[in-house]
């Protein structure tokens, strides 16, 4: 009897518990959204573009090799007032229940970014399927077009984004920017948010540099649209979008983004091309990296801030075509000065540009915090106003440590001698 009653109760419990009202879903009943794009739509609504995975393309051995990003995903664009409503409408479109927890990237159109992201960001921090580690990028153009035209070699589109950001440290031309970082800067006492900049390149090979070259530098700087290139995936990631509060105020091209990376301490390595100081028609290639984190020191006197920046770069020759023996001690310092000078000017250019936007993109305010004892005092300071009037002192020191695989350069033999 006892056993029978226990079995009865047990079965009853099983029946009650497995009625399916606990929200369990089979893996193949779910539509996995991998990327979300957002643009301004009609009447102030959002044009939300969802890139949804097609799991069938990923299964089994026969499909491998044939699959690419186009076949493994499909794209749906929905116009809705908010992200949440977009998810509702998506459910009506896909048949399967949408799940946003595998979203790896928010792609935001430039117009929306300039208008302000306050409304867009609303649900991202409250809803459990989004998380701070989602990458945020701004597209120089329409997010919808970008997602549609992006045809990476990876099997899945989000892997392209992830691979792209994990290789950001190869050049420093763009930065890995997460929602967490963006949001923290938006809310905390100082610092302006930034995201990396993407765009669709016309692939005509006719791109123009986005600004004048710094004297002494050979490298030119570009925005995604302007990179002179042809063929391949038109999606290009270069530069940074800078925000003031939640509105985008401007774009930093490649070289200036690299300066930002140096100041953020996020610059593992990258090539730099400068004029040969003694034979200016030649150029010298140096592979630079940060010797230590940039020393940043802010002095505030009577509401006037002086920001001292001390950057130390280490480098290695990668090319020295002129044949001048820069590997030797006396010539090296010449070259080092040249590099320091160029970097310094670039940095000042970037800082002044962001200063006119009023966007403290390096977050110098972060370094001011320890000078205050309490929150109230820090808030009274009003750092954003002070930043607009701040003075910059930038010191750059460069040390060429290695000379690559060649210990010196013999000049090319010429007939004239």
The residue ranges that bind other proteins (CB under 8 A) are 1-2, 5, 8, 14, 17-18, 21-28, 30, 32, 34, 53, 55-60, 72, 99, 101-102, 104, 125, 128-129, 131-133, 155-156, 158-159, 162, 166, 178, 180, 183-184, 187-189, 366-367, 369-370, 372-378
Name the residue nearer to other proteins (CB basis): 357 or 367.
Answer: 367
Least distance from other proteins to the Cβ atom of residue 98, Å: 12
Name the residue nearer to other proteins (CB basis): 184 or 300.
Answer: 184
Least distance from other proteins to the Cβ atom of residue 268, Å: 13
Give the SS3 label for residue 298. Answer: strand
d(CA 403, CA 355): 37
Element (H, E) at 309: strand 304-319
Name the residue nearer to other proteins (CB basis): 227 or 294.
Answer: 294
Name the residue nearer to other proteins (CB basis): 374 or 414.
Answer: 374
**What is the phi/psi pair of residue 130, to 5°?**
-95, 155
d(CA 232, CA 132): 32
- Strand-pairing partners, residue 398, are 313
Question: Would the CA dihedral through 373, 375, 377, 382 be positive or negative?
Answer: positive
Least distance from other proteins to the Cβ atom of residue 123, Å: 13
Distance from the Cα of residue 116 to its chain's centroid: 18
Least distance from other proteins to the Cβ atom of residue 179, Å: 10
Query: What does the CA dihedral 150, 239, 118, 36 come to, rounded to 10 degrees?
Result: 20
Least distance from other proteins to the Cβ atom of residue 135, Å: 10
The pair of three-digit structure tokens given for residue 354, joined into one six-digit string: 């962001």
Least distance from other proteins to the Cβ atom of residue 302, Å: 20
Closest CA relative to residue 400, chosen from 335, 341, 324:
335
Name the residue nearer to other proteins (CB basis): 57 or 359.
Answer: 57
What does the angle CA 386 – CA 391 – CA 394 come to, to the nearest 5 degrees? 135
> Angle formed by the axes of helices 329-357 and 254-263, to 10°?
100
Name the residue nearer to other proteins (CB basis): 374 or 410.
Answer: 374
Least distance from other proteins to the Cβ atom of residue 369, Å: 4
Name the residue nearer to other proteins (CB basis): 22 or 414.
Answer: 22
């Amino acid at each position: 009897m006892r056993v029978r009653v226990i079995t009865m109760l047990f079965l009853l419990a099983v029946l009650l518990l497995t009625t399916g009202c606990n929200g369990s879903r089979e893996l193949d009943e779910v539509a996995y959204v991998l990327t979300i794009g957002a643009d301004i739509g009609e009447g102030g609504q959002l044009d939300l573009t969802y890139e949804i995975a097609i799991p069938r393309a990923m299964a089994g051995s026969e499909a491998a090799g044939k699959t690419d990003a186009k076949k493994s995903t499909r794209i749906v664009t929905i116009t809705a007032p908010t992200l949440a409503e977009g998810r509702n409408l998506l459910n009506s479109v896909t048949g399967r229940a949408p799940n946003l927890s595998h979203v790896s990237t928010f792609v935001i159109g430039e117009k929306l970014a300039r208008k302000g992201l306050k409304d867009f960001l609303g649900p991202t921090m409250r809803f459990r399927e989004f998380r701070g580690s989602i990458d945020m990028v701004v597209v120089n153009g329409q997010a919808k077009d970008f997602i549609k035209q992006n045809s990476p070699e990876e099997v899945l589109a989000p892997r392209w984004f992830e691979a792209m950001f994990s290789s950001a440290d190869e050049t420093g031309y763009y930065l890995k920017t997460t929602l967490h970082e963006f949001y923290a800067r938006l809310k905390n006492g100082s610092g302006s948010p930034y995201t990396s900049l993407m765009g669709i390149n016309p692939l005509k090979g006719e791109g123009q540099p986005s600004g004048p070259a710094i004297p002494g530098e050979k490298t030119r700087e570009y925005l995604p649209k302007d990179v002179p290139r042809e063929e391949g995936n038109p999606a290009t990631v270069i530069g940074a979008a800078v925000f003031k509060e939640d509105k985008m105020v401007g774009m930093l091209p490649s070289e200036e983004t690299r300066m930002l990376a140096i100041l953020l301490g996020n610059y593992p390595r990258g090539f730099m091309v400068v004029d040969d100081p003694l034979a200016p028609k030649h150029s010298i290639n140096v592979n630079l990296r940060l010797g230590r984190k940039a020393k940043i020191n802010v002095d505030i006197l009577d509401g006037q801030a002086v920001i001292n920046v001390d950057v130390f770069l280490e480098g290695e020759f990668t090319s020295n075509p002129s044949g001048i023996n820069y590997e030797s001690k006396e010539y090296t310092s010449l070259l080092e000065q040249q590099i320091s000078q160029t970097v310094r000017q670039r940095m000042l250019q970037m800082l002044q540009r962001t200063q006119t936007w009023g966007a403290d993109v390096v977050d110098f305010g972060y370094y001011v915090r320890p000078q205050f004892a309490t929150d109230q005092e820090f808030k009274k300071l009003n750092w954003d106003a002070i930043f607009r009037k701040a003075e910059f002192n930038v010191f750059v020191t460069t040390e060429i440590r290695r000379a690559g695989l060649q210990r010196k350069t013999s000049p090319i033999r010429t007939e004239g001698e």
